[in-house]
Amino acid sequence: MNPNQLTKSLKQEAERLGFDISGACAAVTPTGFHQFVDWLDQGFAGEMNYLEDRKEAYEHPSHVLPGAMSILMLGLNYQTAPAVQSTSGTGRIARYAWSNVDYHDLVHKKLKQLKTFVKDLDPSIGVRGVVDTAPLLEREFAELAGIGWRAKNTLLINKTAGSWFFLAALLLDVPLQYDEPMVTNHCGTCTACIDACPTDAFVQPHVLDATQCISYLTIEHRTAVPTALRSKMQDWILGCDICQEVCPWNRKAPLSQEADFQPLDGHNPIELRSLFQLTDDQFRERFRKTPLWRPKRRGILRNAAIALGNTPNQDNLDALALGLTDSEPLVRGATAWALGNHHYDRASEILKQALGLEPMDEVRQEITDSISRLSAL
């Protein structure tokens, strides 16, 4: 099978499997590799040490598939429904995590089927499918494959699908018929995404300081969130969609036809107070197969406490009082800060009672700071 026939067959099979976008490019050193290294050197990756540990591997796709010659870049829409406005006691989850599946599992399943298709055509072809866990600069190759351009918020935009889609890649050690690269950036003078970011995470257009990004803070950052950023996190407990929601290219983006991406009841938004009642086992049972498992129980409860702190209400006090007795110091510290935003006599009483029982210096400091804030009113 010649490259043209193979590419056509692959794209047809990818569409049959449910992928909405496809484009082929050569497996080469990405033009942005050195910018990626500079980005790491500036510390913008924060605690994502796995990027630094593997940075040399990003220089060429052959580190992902030995002898790689071609990449079929694929897109899978995940937009399913409009976001529902959250209220006090609820929190927002990025829409990619509204369903009861981890998108990695679903996309890998489709890639495995596509790999089987290739092997059935020619068992001698080397092939590997990856979705955002291998050392591959996917957005660079997606541009090279002509399926979109990198926006000022660093995400990839497709004229039809907007940015509400997952990227995946199928690497092969044979040539394909390559698509024309995307050479035009269609963002123009628009800066809606940059202007809307609550934490000012964009150092400049196309450069994100992940350590300031709500998505990073709620998922990848595993320790206490810097105090100055907590109020800016608003009510997000997993990820953030703000820079995508304001993007004009997303106004007419299509809805996903993938049944497994349909939102669960109670994830758009999610009720927060009851989360503090979940044991480790109960949390695992409820969220093990979903994206909420990545930050683990301690991370989600930390985020939930901050969200409740940013939407003070007397109805939050029982949950936060429970959080202040949690076994995880990370959770206790966040709930102590949150109680300091609740200007009620009971909040101060809860904090003062906890201060005499708290063994950890860092948490005691959070409690003391919150008592001081409430006393100053």
Average pLDDT, the chain: 97
CA distance 72 to 322: 50
Interstrand relation of 127-130 and 90-93 (parallel, antiparallel or unpaired): unpaired
The position carrying tokens 């919150």 is 370
CA distance 255 to 250: 11
The confidence band for 147, taking pLDDT boundaries of 50, 70 and 90, is very high
The domain limits of the chain are 3-80+99-172, 273-303+312-377
pLDDT tens-digit readout, 150-194? 999 999 999 999 999 999 999 999 999 999 999 999 999 999 999
pLDDT tops 90 at residue 228? yes
pLDDT tens-digit readout, 189-216? 999 999 999 999 999 999 999 999 999 9
CA 173 to mean position of chain CA atoms: 30
Of 82, 135, 91, 128, residue with least CA distance to 108 = 128
Cα angle value 356/361/367 (rounded, 5°): 55
Q: Which amino acid is at 181?
A: P
Contact 46, 214 (CB under 8 A): no
Tell me the three state secondary structure of residue 243.
helix
Higher pLDDT, 81 or 13: 13
Confirm whether pTM is higher than 0.85.
Answer: yes
Torsion sign across C-alpha atoms 165, 41, 52, 299: negative
pLDDT at 1: 80
Active site residues: 132
pLDDT at 160: 95
- 3-state per-residue secondary structure call for 32-46: CHHHHHHHHHCCCCC
CA 25 to mean position of chain CA atoms: 26
DSSP 285-353: HHHTTSGGGTTHHHHHHHHHHHHHHHS--GGGHHHHHHHTT-S-HHHHHHHHHHHTT--SHHHHHHHHH
CA distance 125 to 145: 21
pLDDT tops 80 at residue 377? no
Contact 29, 59 (CB under 8 A): yes
Q: Please list, in sequence order, all residues whose beta carbon lies within 8 angstroms of the beta carbon of residue 349, skipping any fewer than 6 positions away.
A: none
